[in-house]
Chain A
Amino acid sequence: MRRTAVLSLLLALPLLLAGCRAGGRSEPEQIYLVSAVGFDPDSNGGVRLSLEVPLTRESADESPAPALFTGEGGTVEEALRQIAAGLGRRLLFSHCALLVLGDGLSREQMEAIFGFAESGVTLPLAAQVIAAPDAGALLRGGSLSTPAAGYDVPGIFRQVSGSLGLDVRCRIYELRADASPGRPVVLPLFRAAGEDAPEAAVFGGLRLLREGKPALELSPEQSVWYAMLTDRYDGENGSPGGLLGVRLRGVKSEIGAGRSGEDLWLSLALRMEAADRLPAGEADALCARIEEGVRGLFLSLREQAGEDVFLLGDRLARQDAALWQELAPDFARLFAGAELRVSCEIRAKESGNR
């Protein structure tokens, strides 16, 4: 009898407690679902936070309309508190698919942003990170990440990177896993299309962020050369046509040093495929252009950055650990004088002959 009474009480407990206000429980209409987050530096050295939130409408036929909430603060948490104070609902970040980093954010600020993403149950680690001149302006443009229609910017990037063959990893966890001192953070760059179409975003290439140094920006074409130089090119998935009308079928890269350990060199052999057989002169001209583009980017970035933004050191370490150990202390000097050997070959798709 006593056991029955105890069991009955235990079973009745959920019934009695179901009406209590559990701290973690909230109805879906009591939350704001954040679909995109933008971070910009503000004028006081802090952070300006922009949150894109789709607002549900009365009619089920209408898709949610995005609203933008902004706040500023010395830290991300302060900016968030400022925004939350003016809202009547809880903010839910776990559906955020897009992180936009504006120009001018310091490394410490970016570390704080990623720390904010990883702490507890905030931003999903699979959210895509992009760069923009002004994150708030990009998000203000309109329905760039309308959840009902799919996230546009990540979708645009998937499409563009697929057609260009870029294998740039820019999800939060990929960036964090790749992060190491001296290693640049590579982010896709998006700009608003312009005053004519403020709600559209255009892929503007890649942005390389380095610790305490100005960002390097690459055009879409340069992005492809950069991807080839850093083993981030995935030509198999590129759509036919790709860049310059040809498709990269493979890159064979080698890195080494001369006999004395000096004279670092990187060799790239590009194997391209054209849809139709090209006249000999045209193929040669195209090859020359590609070789010039790749070599030009290498020299340009080496001059601007002054450091190994191509991660050649990592590649050498993987290919020849013993040689890397020998060259590592003097690698900066070796890189400054490294030679890039580029060769290009174009084949037609049908016959396989040049």
Chain B
Amino acid sequence: MRRHQTGSGLHKTALAALFTVGNTLIRYPWRSVGPDMLGLFLLSAVGALIPALCLYPLFCRLLRRRLSGRRGRLCLAAALALPLGAYALFCVWRSCGDYLNFASGLILPDSGRLLLALGFLGCVVWLSRVSGQGLDAFSLVCFVCVLACVLALFCFGIPHFRPEYFGVRLPGSAAELAGSLPVLLWESFLPLAVLSGYFALAAPRRGERALAGGTAVGCGILLLCVLQTLLTFGASYAAELRYPYSFAVRILSVGQYFFRLEGFSYLLDYAACLLRAAVCLAAARRLLGRFFPRLARWLPPAAGTVIFGIFCLG
């Protein structure tokens, strides 16, 4: 056990990186940000490090230490942890929903949505309940596959890039920034706060390096995907497409025989969404478990059932 903890920096970095990717590629608010998407993405990537650097130490101080006998600390911790746990459950629902919409819209039209939801949620619940070692191993293997896919797809896409589409334009005024930033905060900052909470409770001491490093790596992966989309389609056309990155990968070909490489992007979306949902559910379980240990054990299957019910009704 001790050996696993000391050697787990790489695992946690991989986990943080995949969590950062999450359902961002599916949900990225291309339409909202318009031609400024690269500039705003870079801003949001910088902002993504804020939870790692600022919130993580706070969570460590409040949530890791003993709470009994210190009412003030207990109230503060509860005020922080319980809403964060609730938001984490919301993230689980959103991540699963986004992937299901993506799968049923692009991969499996007209078939198997509920069954896919059942399987996906089952995997999410399992991953959230498995030991840290299992989740770490899963993260590491998935990260290697995802990174290889992204790099390979980026390299194959280079012949299709048009340099004239590259342009970093930051918002010119506070009003412009104010209009776009809340969307990015909602999409990237808050979910990463959940990750910080998870790290505070699950990661070993000095996990901030893995958290910050993993977030940065995840942003790097997203940057590659965003760049590939932008350089292939341009900002205005990319904003019109429903899943721009998948479409950008769809046009790729290698020589005369290898076409339609978007299957690899499906793996990326699957692994990232699965991991984000699982970590959010695990974070919710741990956050709730600090105050209600017996209830926390039942949270993953209960949450999975409720979310599946919502999908059935929807």
- What is the interface of chain A, defined by CB distance below 8 A to chain B? 10, 17, 22-25, 94, 118, 120-121, 124-126, 171, 173, 176-177, 179, 318
Query: How far is A126 from B111 in the complex, measured between Cα atoms in Å?
Result: 26
Cα of A135 to Cα of B177 in the assembled complex, Å: 48
- Tell me if B251 and A22 are in contact (CB < 8 A): no
Given the known inter-chain contacts A23-B110, A24-B108, A121-B106, please indicate yes or no for A171 contacting B251, CB distance below 8 A. yes
Of the listed stretches B9-17, B140-148, B229-237, B286-294, name the one at the interface; the rest are far from the partner chain: B229-237
Docked CA distance A222–B203 (Å): 68
Which residues of B sit under 8 angstroms from A118, Cβ to Cβ?
240-241
Take A173-B232, A177-B233, A177-B234 as given contacts and tell me if A17 and B115 are in contact as well, using a CB distance cutoff of 8 Å.
yes
Task: Report which of B112, B165, B251 forms a contact with A125, defined as CB distance below 8 A.
Answer: B251
Query: What's the least CB distance linking A77 to chain B, in Å?
Result: 16
Given contacts A25-B111, A177-B236, 15 further A-B contacts (CB under 8 A): A17-B115, A23-B110, A23-B111, A118-B240, A121-B106, A124-B251, A124-B260, A125-B247, A125-B250, A126-B250, A126-B251, A173-B251, A176-B237, A176-B240, A177-B234
Given A17-B115, A173-B233, A177-B234, A120-B250 contact (CB < 8 Å): no
30 interchain pairs, CB-CB under 8 A:
A10-B122, A17-B115, A22-B111, A23-B110, A23-B111, A24-B109, A24-B112, A25-B111, A94-B260, A118-B240, A120-B105, A120-B106, A120-B109, A121-B106, A121-B109, A125-B247, A125-B250, A125-B251, A126-B250, A126-B251, A126-B253, A173-B233, A173-B251, A176-B240, A177-B162, A177-B232, A177-B233, A177-B234, A177-B236, A179-B237
Q: How far is the CA of A177 from the CA of B162 in the complex (A)?
A: 11
B interface, how many residues as a size bin? 20 to 34
A-B contact count (CB 8 A): 48
Q: How far is the CB of B264 from chain A (nearest CB, A)?
A: 16
**A173-B232, A176-B237, A177-B233 are known contacts. Are A124 and B250 too (CB-CB below 8 A)?**
yes
Residues of A contacting B251 in the complex (Cβ-Cβ under 8 angstroms): 124-126, 171, 173
CB distance from B257 to the nearest CB of A (A): 11
Contact A24 B110 (CB under 8 A): yes
Question: What is the chain B residue whose CB lies nearest that of A17?
Answer: B115
CA distance A24 to B116 in the complex (A): 13
Q: Which residues of A contact B105 (CB under 8 A)?
A: 120
A176 to B106, CA, bound (A): 20
Bound CA span A176–B164, Å:
15
A171 to B: closest C-beta gap in Å: 7
What chain A residues lie within 8 Å of B115 (beta carbons)? 17
Closest B-chain residue to A126, C-beta based?
B251
- B115 to nearest A CB, angstroms? 7
* A74 to B162 alpha-carbon distance, docked (Å): 37
Cα(A173)–Cα(B157), bound, Å:
14
